[in-house]
Amino acid sequence: MRDRLTLSMRASHLLALIFVAAALALAAIGAASGDTFYLRLGTEALIFAGLALSVDLLLGYSGALSLGQALYFGIGAYVSALTLLKVPSFWLAMAAAGGVTLVASILGGLIANRVRGVYFALITFGLAQVVAKVVYNTRELGASDGMIGIPVIEIGFGPVSVSAGNPVGFFLIVLAIIMGLYGLTAYLLDTPFGRVLTALKANEKRVPFLGYSVWRARMFSYVLAGLIAGLSGALYPMLRGFVSPELMFFATSGNAVISVILGGVGTLIGAIYGSVLLVVLKSIIGSWTEHHLIVIGLIFMICVMFLPKGLVGFIRPRIEERLLAGAREPAAPSFTSAQLEPGSAKP
């Protein structure tokens, strides 16, 4: 069955493939030239892309703007750091970060999902700020300095292992994890459950009269988003060797929202493109002027004015047209004539 939302998702997948191909090519160039700086910058961009992905899941699909998604990113980072300081195991750190963010996002969801719209944004903002301040003032967690000296770990896959200190190796691992999270989210959004989220964004008041629990759907998407943010955050101390309360601050949450808007709300892959774009812009403009935030603010405003659907939001409809044209060919194997009436084809 030809389905507009499935088609959009397919267009996103195509852009995801292009992204992975470009990332692999850049990794190869980086490895060949012995680069460290850009590979590690790229890895950081990917880690923040995971945070942006979780923001887009909430904002682009269920229609809930979270201004405090860095809370779960930060919790993931701190739990990962604490675990690695005790036991330098990648898998244990990921499992611990996942478990704790799961619990934290259930608690946060119970609070935040009592309200909608701008109040949801304010509650998520408030929750993140409160926890960030607590961390900022807790000596056991390094207080305002954060925690340093997190060991460089070996990431074992059965017989082989890759060092997190290896710029290319760790870049590839992070790329695989973030694209895995993208794949999982994209899959879920194209299931009946995912469509309930889309329906929430389109007309939340109608949803209960179709027999779906609004609360349950919102809760599930919130917890899933928290988990994605937490797992992404868990990678951060492995890359940088430290964590600091700034990871939970509004600037981090805000950057994720900006990434999503730059890349295109409700496109998923746009969050990843947007995040990479933002990190690259910051790095390039930051090397020219210390007032780089002003320049980024201007770019953001120009983007909102002239590309209100973001980069991917602008490009994706064109890809959809192509995919649709391809599907309309009579030889296309996956469509039967009964499913694709010629009369309903778009002009």
Partner 1 sequence: MTGPVLEIRDLGIAFGGLKAVDRVSFNAQRNRITTVIGPNGAGKSTLFNLISGALKPKSGQLLIDGVDMTGASPARTKAAGLSRSFQITNLFFELTVAENLRMAAQVLEPKARAFLPLGRSIRALAKTREMLDRFQLGHKRDELAGNLSHGDQRRLEIAVCLASEPKILLLDEPTQGMSHADTADTAKLVRELSKDVSVLLIEHDIGLVMDLSDHVVVMHQGRKLAEGPPAVVRADPAVQAAYFGHH
Q: Which is nearer to partner 1, 16 or 67 (CB)?
A: 16
Nearer residue to partner 1 within complex by CB, 4 or 139: 4
- CB 263, min distance to partner 1, A: 20
Nearer to partner 1, 13 or 292 (CB): 13
Between the CA atoms of 18, 23, 28 and 32, what dihedral angle is there, to the nearest 10 degrees? 140
Spatial distance between the Cα atoms of 47 and 176, rounded to a whole number of angstroms: 11
Largest CA distance in the chain: 69
Question: Contact residues for partner 1 (CB under 8 A)?
Answer: 1-6, 187-188, 190-193, 195-196, 198-199, 201-203, 205-206, 208-214, 341, 343-344, 346
Least distance from partner 1 to the Cβ atom of residue 106, Å: 19
Query: Which CB atom, from 3 or from 321, has the smaller least distance to partner 1?
Result: 3
**Sign of the dihedral through C-alpha 248, 254, 255, 257:** positive
Q: How many helices (H) and strands (E) does the chain have?
A: 12, 2
- Answer positive or negative: Cα dihedral of 166, 287, 304, 307: negative
Nearest approach, Cβ of 193 to partner 1 (angstroms)? 4
Q: How many whole angstroms separate alpha carbon 14 and alpha carbon 19?
A: 9
Residue count (the chain): 347
- In angstroms, what is the C-alpha Rg of the chain? 21
Q: Between 195 and 309, whose beta carbon lies closer to partner 1?
A: 195
* Minimum distance of partner 1 from residue 10's CB (angstroms): 13
Q: Which two tokens stand for residue 244?
A: 């600091």
CB of 4 to partner 1, least distance (A): 5
- Compute the least distance from the CB of residue 191 to partner 1, in Å: 5
**Nearest residue to 112 via CA among 210, 206, 225, 209:** 225
Q: Which is nearer to partner 1, 6 or 36 (CB)?
A: 6
| Whole-angstrom distance, CA of residue 307 vs CA of residue 293 | 20
Please report how close the Cβ of residue 208 comes to partner 1 at its closest, in angstroms: 4
202 vs 302, which CB is nearer to partner 1?
202
Conformation bin of residue 325: beta by default, left when phi > 0, alpha when psi is -120 to 50: alpha
